[in-house]
Structure 1
Amino acid sequence: MTVILPQSGAVAVDRGLLLGRLQGAAVRRPHVKALDLLFYAVFALLIGLPLALVLVQAVLPDLFDHRASSAAFSVRALAQTFASARVARSVVNSLALAATVAVTATALGGAFAFLVRRCRLPLRGAIAVVPWLVFLTPSYLKALAWALLMAPGGYLVQLGLPARVAAAFFSLPGLVFVHTLSLFPLAFFIIGSALVGLGSDMEDAGRLSGAAPFRVWMKINAPLIAPAIALSAIATFAEVLADFGMATTIARMSNFSVLTYGIYAATSDYPIDFPMAGTQAFVLILLVAIVVGADRLLRRQVAARLISGRSKPPRIYDLKRWSPFAMGFVAVITFAALVLPLGAIALRALTRTIGASLTWETFTLDNLAEVATSAGDAHAALLRSLGYASLAAVLACSLALLLALRLERDKAMRPVVLGLALGTVAIPGIVLGFGYILVWNRLPGFRDLPFPRYGEGSLLILGYVAAALPYCLVIILSAIGQLAPNLGDAARLFGVGPTARLLRLTLPLIAVSVVTALLMTFIHTIFELPMSQMLIPLDGPPAPTMILRYFNDEREGPASALSLASMVIAGGAAALIWSAARRMLFAGGATGSRRAL
């Protein structure tokens, strides 16, 4: 006999079960709140406290004086900084360089974006990869490569470049040239996205009215993409202000002082000139804040909504007889921005000296052997960077994942933490590194902690984590924001605990974003120069610092070999990890939804 239970009884049982679980969740709420506070405290310690001390140092200049510490408010250091002719020259040089490169890089990136996104070119897909490769190459490696090319006896000078032209390179025009080739991908990404969304509706209307194509672009299309052009110029301006790679290489060789190198020089003195470093960092933060404010103001303006259900696809132009000229332009930019610098590094790594003519006798594997030999300093520096980068990537992604889960539930703290994270992205790495010196070398209570300690690798790893955490948080938080809340609610009702929900439900669904953040942090950390220079461990420097040390000691061969080995190993490891992750994700894709619970 079949017994049918009353429906009301089932509902009562379900209500009782649900109320019991909700009550259990309420009992656990203080524990959850304590975890939330812990994660927010860690985030504030990694990023908020160092940046706050940098700002405080500017108005409390004697706070970290090793002779007589004082918390007295004073604008003396700021007044001295603004009255200093050297600092004034650094500010003017930084602004002039940033403004010029903002114009040149935006123009070059916009032209490249137009050819790739709106013109029919051979190998257009392969050409679109070039800006990514240029963008991922660290600025100081590009600077070192161009120094090898343009220095007295450099490769281009050996090929017949006039010495007068090579000498003029180490000045403002040379810096503008290298910065432009280095940062045009930023304009390509921003303007290219606007060109893809710019349909042919208004363009067709203008042509039907009898306007010529050039007039259509000047009167219709150009105003529509003007916000993207302005954003590109602002972003490029901020990047040049914050750059440290060019500042410590070509700018230093050219005696062209900029703010980022001034901060590093003040912290490299013994004893450290905290007031000078702090006030210059304050000025740099102020300039970057003005730029970021202009960016935010521009984004708040009313923008044209170009994509709708009736939008026509963008018009792709057939250049016809102009196609060879366009391909020549693309080939020249690709060669100057990517092939020539990487070729110079590879060539110098495989030769005995830069001054001798290139014959078979000048080629050698000694430089690469020095990197591969376990007893060499270059080998140890490379291993340190790989180890530091691996630990920093795992720690940064793990912390970002847990923090993102908390922020997804805590809507009140989300704008605060996310705003600080996005603001940190715009803060120069040299400033964050100086903040870490203030916290872990001068701040009572922190400088005496056994872990991490100033002068040890543990603090450098912590700095790497702080530098990468905002990027990881933004990437992972955007992925978590796409998950429907009812997925977690359903798992909770079935009795799945928080750890199991994270490992078996959330993590598989956002695995692509987590792997992307992991690889980005790994590659970025291997080549992270500002933090590496500011927090050099006493037991030995990482690869970026060793590369610069070799170069400053006129040992370009080992510097190039270490650069080449770092790029090959980092790229190869990232490719292997991504390939393995893709195979695992695709293999588990068919059954992933069934395994989630």
Structure 2
Amino acid sequence: MIRKDQALGHSLLVLLFVLVLLPLLFVLAQIVSPGLTWEAFDLGNLSAIFGIFEKKAWMSALTNSIQLGSGTTIFALALSIFLAHIRVSYQFPLAKAIDVTAWILLIVPSFILAQGWIYFGSGAGIAAVWLGISGLNTYLYSVNGLITIMVLCKFPLAYITVKGAMEWYPDSLVHAARMNGANPVQVWTKVRLPLCLPAFFSGAMLVFMDTIGDWGMSSAITAAFPFSTLPYAIYSAICTTPVRFDTAGVLSLYLIGLIFIAMIIQHFALGRRRFDFVGTGATAVVAQKIGKVQTALLTGFTLVFCTVTLGIPIGSNIIMSFTNSFSIQRFSFTLDNYIAVLSDQKSLLSGLQNSLSIAAGAAIFGLIAGFAVAYTLTYSRYKLKKAIDSITLIAMAVPGVILGIGYIFVWNQSWLTPLGLNLYGKSSILILASVAVAIPLTNRLMVAGMAKVPQDLLVAAQVQGLVLAHG
């Protein structure tokens, strides 16, 4: 068993190194060798790492990312815990709408959500022109407004993991606590809350990583007010003239530093305690029936919440798709946009086919890799499994533009052509990049569930299987 754990662990390390670390190392190498040429190689460029103490723009981007990531994480986690509690504990109409909303928000690209909020809340947007809500744009284009929108878009990352932990009730542990005089509050704080900590921290890490690495949402909304973040600063360094790959490498290093700080906090918070409880008499939580007043309140809250979080951004995009004007003041219903898209069926079908094939390939390989990583982190005795966990989180925090540049540098080498591994310009490179981005989320979702199941149950199942196999 130990040998199998070691073999699986080594294989995952190699896979993650190729998918995540190697492209990132190529980007970080830009610090000492911009453009990856020997002529530009200069170790003296390492001094640029400390340029954050001299360049106000870099320091501002770093502090803004920390502020945005911390604020979003705290409020998104609190919201997720509340939503998971009412979803699991009580029966009321539209309860499943919370799950549907969370999953849709999880798969919709952030720039589409940002675009919808801009259509709705801008000075001449839907809220001001059609609904008569004035002043929303002032709040929307502010730090607090950005954090609010981030919370409404990022909470599914924490909600799914938290809900998975709260769906189980440790009966025997709760009964033991009550027999020793614990009141309901003490049962929650001393028994249920500690057992949910892995899910809480996993959800918080996912929200923090995705927030500080998000470029689409923050850059779209902060275009109207000065609030530069690290992803936007990295994008600016790459897309401006002259291209500054060295600056992008330095700023990427800061992002990685934020990841490790967050991981250290999580490590010391959880320590070496065990959190598996399914084998200790735990049962699935059965939602309780509540009074008419409470049912009406929860139903009304759910309706408003889902309408705001999902209906506003998606609905605003749908509304604007039926007009040729970018201003809602000049709205004129038309189907020209849909006719233009559907008339070019060749491009539409080609794009749809490419998207589905890439998504299918990434889903299959990402699921397999994510499950293997989650299993290794939860049950194996592999000594370097913390390194595996660290690499997966790095993949989530690094902006896609940086990972994309790294993939170009890695897979566009001339010496790879005779080996058939020059993947630049092929769909396979997109599948690899998508798998690298998908592994962290798949891994954290599976770890949250696996953490509840003690290894003794797996051993018992394995023994039973061996007995059955041998007659």
- Confirm or deny a common fold (TM above 0.5): yes
Q: What is the aligned partner in structure 1 of residue 154 from structure 2?
A: 183
Structure 1 residues 385 and 474: CA distance shift in structure 2, 3 A: farther
Q: What is the aligned partner in structure 2 of residue 579 from structure 1?
A: none
Indicate if the aligned counterparts of 1:112 and 1:330 stay in contact, CA closer than 8 A: no
**Alignment equivalent of 1:50, drawn from 23, 33, 41:** 23
Structure 1 residues 47 and 291: CA distance shift in structure 2, 3 A: same
Deviations 1:10-54 (A, max 9, x none): xxxxxxxxxxxxxxxxxxxxxxx9xxx999978654433212223
Indicate if the aligned counterparts of 2:423 and 2:429 stay in contact, CA closer than 8 A: yes
Q: What is the aligned partner in structure 1 of residue 223 from structure 2?
A: 252
Task: Check if 1:105 corresponds to 2:76.
Answer: yes
Structure 1 residues 386 and 258: CA distance shift in structure 2, 3 A: farther
Q: What is the aligned partner in structure 2 of residue 325 from structure 1?
A: 297
Structure 1 residues 326 and 450: CA distance shift in structure 2, 3 A: same
Q: Aligned letter for 1:339? A: G
Separation in structure 2 between the aligned mates of residue 325 and residue 300 of structure 1, nearest angstrom = 40
Q: What is the aligned partner in structure 2 of residue 159 from structure 1?
A: 130
Task: Check if 1:370 corresponds to 2:340.
Answer: yes
Indicate if the aligned counterparts of 1:101 and 1:179 stay in contact, CA closer than 8 A: yes
Separation in structure 1 between the aligned mates of residue 13 and residue 184 of structure 2, nearest angstrom = 55
Separation in structure 1 between the aligned mates of residue 11 and residue 136 of structure 2, nearest angstrom = 58
Structure 1 residues 413 and 438: CA distance shift in structure 2, 3 A: farther
How far 1:247 moved relative to its partner? 2.5
Q: What is the aligned partner in structure 1 of residue 453 from structure 2?
A: none
**Alignment equivalent of 1:146, drawn from 117, 128, 146:** 117
Once structures 1 and 2 are overlaid, which stretch shifts more, 160-169 or 224-233?
224-233
Separation in structure 2 between the aligned mates of residue 38 and residue 227 of structure 1, nearest angstrom = 26
Structure 1 residues 435 and 254: CA distance shift in structure 2, 3 A: same
Structure 1 residues 44 and 206: CA distance shift in structure 2, 3 A: closer
Question: Aligned residues: percent identity?
Answer: 24
Separation in structure 2 between the aligned mates of residue 310 and residue 475 of structure 1, nearest angstrom = 23
Indicate if the aligned counterparts of 1:55 and 1:282 stay in contact, CA closer than 8 A: yes
Secondary structure of 1:64's counterpart equals: helix
Separation in structure 1 between the aligned mates of residue 101 and residue 359 of structure 2, nearest angstrom = 28
Structure 1 residues 279 and 438: CA distance shift in structure 2, 3 A: farther
Structure 1 residues 448 and 94: CA distance shift in structure 2, 3 A: farther
How far 1:202 moved relative to its partner? 5.9
How far 1:106 moved relative to its partner? 1.0
Separation in structure 1 between the aligned mates of residue 275 and residue 337 of structure 2, nearest angstrom = 55
How far 1:286 moved relative to its partner? 1.3
In the superposition, the TM-score normalised over structure 1's length comes to: 0.62
Indicate if the aligned counterparts of 2:170 and 2:283 stay in contact, CA closer than 8 A: yes
Q: What is the aligned partner in structure 1 of residue 317 from structure 2?
A: 345
Deviations 1:259-298 (A, max 9, x none): 1111111111233201100000111011112223433444
Structure 1 residues 45 and 65: CA distance shift in structure 2, 3 A: closer
Give the alignment of 1:75-224 within 5 angstroms: 75-199=46-170, 217=188, 221-222=192-193, 224=195
Q: What is the aligned partner in structure 1 of residue 241 from structure 2?
A: 270
Once structures 1 and 2 are overlaid, which stretch shifts more, 334-343 or 452-461?
452-461
Once structures 1 and 2 are overlaid, which stretch shifts more, 45-54 or 114-123?
45-54
Structure 2 gap ranges (5+)? 1-6, 451-457
Structure 1 residues 41 and 193: CA distance shift in structure 2, 3 A: closer
**Alignment equivalent of 1:422, drawn from 376, 392, 413:** 392
Structure 1 gap ranges (5+)? 1-32, 492-597
Structure 1 residues 318 and 395: CA distance shift in structure 2, 3 A: closer
Separation in structure 1 between the aligned mates of residue 27 and residue 139 of structure 2, nearest angstrom = 37
Q: Aligned letter for 1:55? A: L
Structure 1 residues 208 and 448: CA distance shift in structure 2, 3 A: closer
Structure 1 residues 392 and 115: CA distance shift in structure 2, 3 A: closer
Indicate if the aligned counterparts of 2:88 and 2:286 stay in contact, CA closer than 8 A: no
Q: What is the aligned partner in structure 1 of residue 4 from structure 2?
A: none
> What RMSD over aligned residues (CA atoms) do the two structures have, in Å?
4.6
Structure 1 residues 343 and 272: CA distance shift in structure 2, 3 A: same
Indicate if the aligned counterparts of 1:198 and 1:314 stay in contact, CA closer than 8 A: yes
Structure 1 residues 328 and 200: CA distance shift in structure 2, 3 A: farther
Structure 1 residues 445 and 419: CA distance shift in structure 2, 3 A: farther
Q: Aligned letter for 1:95? A: I
In the superposition, the TM-score normalised over structure 2's length comes to: 0.76
Deviations 1:59-82 (A, max 9, x none): xx2353669321535422212244
Structure 1 residues 222 and 296: CA distance shift in structure 2, 3 A: closer
Structure 1 residues 155 and 413: CA distance shift in structure 2, 3 A: same
Indicate if the aligned counterparts of 1:53 and 1:435 stay in contact, CA closer than 8 A: yes
Indicate if the aligned counterparts of 1:200 and 1:313 stay in contact, CA closer than 8 A: no
Separation in structure 1 between the aligned mates of residue 382 and residue 284 of structure 2, nearest angstrom = 41
Deviations 1:556-584 (A, max 9, x none): xxxxxxxxxxxxxxxxxxxxxxxxxxxxx
Indicate if the aligned counterparts of 1:288 and 1:426 stay in contact, CA closer than 8 A: no
How far 1:434 moved relative to its partner? 3.0
**Alignment equivalent of 1:295, drawn from 266, 287, 308:** 266
How far 1:303 moved relative to its partner? 4.0
Deviations 1:401-428 (A, max 9, x none): 69999x99xx989959955763454342
Q: What is the aligned partner in structure 1 of residue 455 from structure 2?
A: none
Give the alignment of 1:577-588 within 5 angstroms: none
Separation in structure 2 between the aligned mates of residue 87 and residue 485 of structure 1, nearest angstrom = 57
Secondary structure of 1:198's counterpart equals: strand
Indicate if the aligned counterparts of 1:168 and 1:174 stay in contact, CA closer than 8 A: yes
Task: Check if 1:383 corresponds to 2:383.
Answer: no
Give the alignment of 1:456-535 within 5 angstroms: 460=430, 463-464=433-434, 466-468=436-438
Structure with greater Cα Rg: 1
How far 1:112 moved relative to its partner? 0.8
Structure 1 residues 120 and 402: CA distance shift in structure 2, 3 A: closer
Structure 1 residues 459 and 209: CA distance shift in structure 2, 3 A: closer
Separation in structure 1 between the aligned mates of residue 367 and residue 197 of structure 2, nearest angstrom = 35
Structure 1 residues 212 and 46: CA distance shift in structure 2, 3 A: closer
Separation in structure 2 between the aligned mates of residue 277 and residue 252 of structure 1, nearest angstrom = 20
Structure 1 residues 266 and 132: CA distance shift in structure 2, 3 A: same
Secondary structure of 1:307's counterpart equals: coil
Indicate if the aligned counterparts of 1:195 and 1:225 stay in contact, CA closer than 8 A: yes
Indicate if the aligned counterparts of 1:452 and 1:459 stay in contact, CA closer than 8 A: no
Secondary structure of 1:143's counterpart equals: helix
Give the alignment of 1:424-439 within 5 angstroms: 424-430=394-400, 431-439=402-410
How far 1:213 moved relative to its partner? 5.2
How far 1:157 moved relative to its partner? 1.0
Secondary structure of 1:184's counterpart equals: helix
